[in-house]
Chain A
Amino acid sequence: MNDTGQKPSNREMETLIGNLLRAGVIIAASVVSLGGIIYIFRHGFELAEYKVFLREPADLCSIGGILRNAFSGHGRGLIQLGLLLLIATPIARVALSIFEFARKHDTLYVIVTLIVFSILIYSLLGR
């Protein structure tokens, strides 16, 4: 019916989003693996203790702290950076959708997507 003109751009958008998701997961998993190897190499024979809950140290909880930790080559910092990239993957997908809906002049869905995006950013940055 009225969606004949829409179909190719829908297809394009789906392919783009699919590629973004796949790339995000592969990159995140690689960084986590690298961090994991360093972590096990350095701490493999220490005791694994998770029975008592202690909050993670502050520098493994904030974006700034994780970046500092990761770039000084700490295994745990690198793992955390990979996990951060993983969390960012669906957020990037939502951001991409904003542009795609805008390109199709679909104002309603630009607003819908912006709401979802704001909630995600609030969660990641808010304290």
Chain B
Amino acid sequence: MNVLLFSILIWFGSVIAGYLGSLTGLGGGVVIIPLLTLGFGVDIRYAIGASLVSVIATSSGAAAAYVKEGFSNIRIGMFLEIATTVGALAGAFLALRLSTPIIAVIFGLVLMYSAYISSRPRNENLCLDKPDRLAAILKMDGTYPAPEGLTSYNVCSVHLGFSLMFIAGIISGLLGIGSGAVKVLAMDQAMRLPFKVSTATSNFMIGVTAAASAGIYLNKGYIDPGLTMPVMLGVLLGSSVGARHLFGAETKKLRVVFGIVIFLLALEMIYSGLKGGILK
């Protein structure tokens, strides 16, 4: 296939991946990496590099909108970014050492977990009774614009959230995805933030986490300009269209369909990783 046709096809696939990723909150990376490796036979290391860069693009683009609406908590985000960036460095170094079939299998497992999380209803379980001492020291409690006016909220188990964020960072650095599923889990379930606050803050953090490992990927020659160009431009377009449809469209059915697609892609990644065939 020549460069022109290859770039057009990859760009088109990336637009769709970015659109679905933003609509479901999973991010473009979870579709882009299987698309590139299984669909186009690209080495998974190039695919991870390209995906990581597009994660920064979508996160920064979306965060710009979220931040202005006043949902994201910059203090919580910044504190947790210590955990995610250190994790991302560890993940990137791990990626330099692990063989590609192992990375493919881990990717498949993480993909399955993401599909499972996205198919489940989210339970808002606010932190009401026992405010966290660490949260008080770190001045994390905040307010957000709810439909009924400015509403204040507290933050629970900061230490648990911090540990989960370290894991989210490793996953992001190792696999080149935003690992929004783990970040949202940490903030919804452990720290018990309101949905909109955890979604916006997670999005805000994804770009910084990805930048931490992208530097290493760039230095080590994992980011190919010819491949990354159509991926980044496509995902950016797809996700900005997706973000516009986010609150209006009926997304429940789409989430279920997308969950099944992700699950099948995950099986295929694990299978080809174990077989060592395509991904050698």
Contacts and interface: CB of A to CB of B under 8 A. Distances in A.
3 pairs of A and B residues whose beta carbons are closest in the complex: A55-B221, A123-B215, A48-B6
A123 B216 contact: yes
Given A29-B236, A116-B85, A84 B218 contact: yes
Nearest to A16: B67
Interface in B133-191: 138-139, 143
A3 B230 CA distance: 45
Contact of A87 (B75, B82, B218): B218
Contacts, number: 204
Contacts of B105: none
Given A61-B219, A109-B75, A119-B212, 5 more contacts: A48-B6, A50-B42, A57-B221, A80-B225, A93-B208
Interface string A97-127: 1000000001011001101100110111111
B233 to A, nearest CB: 6
Contact of A21 (B67, B81, B229, B233): B67
Interface string A41-67: 001111110111101111011100000
Interface in A74-98: 75-77, 79-80, 83-84, 86-91, 93-94, 97
A1 B142 CA distance: 11
B128 interface: no
B68 A14 contact: yes
Contact of A50 (B46, B68, B138, B236): B46
A44 B86 contact: no
B78 A89 contact: no
Contacts of B92: 123
Contacts of B75: 109
A80 B67 CA distance: 28
Nearest to B42: A50
A18 interface: yes
Contact of B211 (A57, A58, A91, A127): A91
Nearest to A44: B4
